[in-house]
Chain A
Amino acid sequence: MNVPVIEVRALTKRYGEVPAIRDVDFTVSRGSTCALLGGNGAGKTTTLAMLLGLLVPTAGCIRVFGEDMSRHRYRVLGRMNFSSPYVDLPQRLTVAENLTVYGHLYGVQGVRKRIRMLGDELDLNEFMRRPYRSLSAGQRTRVSLAKALLNEPELLLLDEPTASLDPDTADRVRSYLMDYQQRRQATVFFASHNMPEVERVCDDVIMLRQGRVVDRGTPATLIAHYGRRNLEEVFLDIARDTDVEPAHRQAVQ
């Protein structure tokens, strides 16, 4: 039986009386690249934080690799990793020092060799000895990505993986991630606002609005469903709560 890598059931998170996530259900299968889309405040980061075990749900259940995250998250944390341009690494440590520390935290065998490999693949070598604080936003994003790939995770959770990158670097990073996903048969789950990126790399999209899943499908299915030309227009429809039926009818016709 193919156990989903991520299984979310009736997931709810409230901060006091304010609901952030409401009764969300979804599964993500092994080897897929799934994007979580939604406007600001839709609940993407909250969902990611709960998947990572950083945030305790108010109700519902999250299983990753079949393990209940509320009770056994340490059984699976070593098989997953996370990157976000909004969560920093220690500023005063050099890139190499940061990667060494995280390599040991993840129990990576042959940490130096792995860091050298990632340095080559993600083009980090020129600033490997520089403190993290001295790097540009784009360089930091690449270092954060290298940290996320140190343990060759089976599940990679990414928050805006190409934010702050110039188009050329972003394209190379995207290609690298797609190659990694195929090579490792890894599952990639990410939150993004970059719709062309999602169209290019994802085979599954979950749309969130005000803490609820409002639609789901492949980028092509969603575009057809909403009768739009691209995912960005679909996103705008959902974010602005546009009545989709006319467009949908037009698409069907």
Chain B
Amino acid sequence: MTGSADKCLSLRRIGAMALRYLYLLRSSGPRLLELFYWPTVQLVLWGFITQFFMTNSTWVAQASGVLLAAVLLWDVMFRGQLGVSLAFTEEMYSRNLGHLFVSPLRPYELVTALLLISLVRTLIGISAAAVLAIPLYNYSIFELGLPLLTFFFNLIVMGWAIGLIVAAVVLRYGLGAESLAWIAIFAVAPVSGIYYPISVLPGWLQPVAWLLPSAYVFEGMRAIMFDSLVRLDLMAKAAALNAIYLGMGVAVFLYSFRVARERGTLLHVGE
């Protein structure tokens, strides 16, 4: 009747969890709407700001889409993190962890499924806003070309790393810590150089910024838009840092899972 239960990594189990999150998404109109809502509102807001700056800022006038590209890319990171954190808190809300982890599901398979569903959610939300920018503001982020892919993946991976750490904290401290899912990523926003170059930051803060993959991505984005330069060196540094941060995120989550098994919270965790 059953098979593959003792496989160390099962695509079927990962697929089962991804299916669980897709069912959840499908079951709720407001959840689907929420995916589009915030990226679209952000886009509309920054579109008008761009229009204003086009006649009042020589910096923005040099590359009209710089703020729109920035807001869309920032949302990739934010959506990536939310996708992981919120999907995990769903398990806690539904008090389902006890059933999940008496099945052959491995914690790292759950992590993989969380990353997958985060990718799907982010693509749905951001694609809609990116396409909408074309008729609304005559700006297409797709003009960034192939580097857009490296920006996207570097930012979503950083979002995943933060999302996994948030999930670990929620698993450790319970749903009282769930608001972290909505605010954690904003701690890195000021030093990511989303809307301004890292050189604007005070000297003592710049080394902190360069510890973040996002800083390299947004600098890389501006290099293309202002100087038509594809800075592969920046992307390589971002990818290297992301490998470390994602590894840390997974490790922290797995550690938190281990602690939950020692404390017995998997069976009773909930609201």
Closest CB in chain B relative to A81 CB, distance in Å: 7
Q: How far is the CA of A56 from the CA of B260 in the complex (A)?
A: 9
Q: Please tell me if A1 contacts chain B, counting CB pairs below 8 Å.
A: no
B16–A104 CB distance below 8 A: yes
Contact size range, A: 35 or more
A49 touches B264 (CB 8 A): yes
Give chain B nearest CB distance to A59 CB in angstroms.
13
A114 within 8 Å of B (CB atoms): yes
Q: Report yes or no: B103 in contact with A53, Cβ–Cβ below 8 A.
A: no
Once A56-B262, A90-B24, A105-B105 are accepted as A-B contacts, the answer to whether A49 and B267 lie under 8 Å apart by CB is yes
State which of B2, B4, B95, B264 has its C-beta within 8 Å of the C-beta of A54: B264
- State in angstroms the CA–CA spacing of A29 and B10 once bound together: 31
Q: Are B104 and A107 in touch, CB under 8 angstroms?
A: yes
Q: How large is the interface on B (under 10, 10 to 19, 20 to 34, 35 or more residues)?
A: 35 or more
Query: Is B2 touching A93 in the complex (CB atoms < 8 A)?
Result: no
A15, B23: Cβ atoms closer than 8 Å = no
Chain A 104-146 near chain B by CB (<8 Å), digits 1 or 0: 1111110000100000000000000001000000000000000
The reply to whether the CB of B143 lies closer than 8 angstroms to some CB of chain A is no
Contacts A54-B261, A82-B102; A90 near B267 (Cβ below 8 A): no
A78 to B6, CA, bound (A): 7
A contact residues around B10 at 8 Å (CB): 107
On chain A, the residues within 8 Å of B94 by CB distance are: 88-92
Is B99 a contact of A104 with CB atoms below 8 Å? no
For chain B, residues 1 to 33, give those with C-beta under 8 angstroms from any C-beta of chain A: 1-6, 8, 10, 12-13, 15-17, 19-20, 23-24, 27-28
A100 partner residues in chain B, CB cutoff 8 A: 19
Q: Shortest distance in angstroms between B255's beta carbon and chain A's nearest beta carbon?
A: 13
Chain A residues contacting B15 (CB-CB under 8 Å) are: 104
Please tell me which one of the listed residues B8, B16, B28, B96 contacts residue A89 in the complex, with CB atoms under 8 A apart.
Answer: B96
Q: Is A152 an interface residue (CB 8 A)?
A: yes
- List A residues at the B interface (Cβ < 8 Å): 15, 45-46, 49, 52-56, 74-75, 77-82, 84, 87-94, 97, 100-109, 114, 131, 147, 151-152
Chain B residues in contact with chain A, CB under 8 A? 1-6, 8, 10, 12-13, 15-17, 19-20, 23-24, 27-28, 90-91, 93-96, 98-106, 261-264, 266-267, 270
6 tightest Cβ-Cβ pairs between the two chains A and B? A78-B5, A104-B16, A87-B98, A88-B95, A105-B103, A55-B264
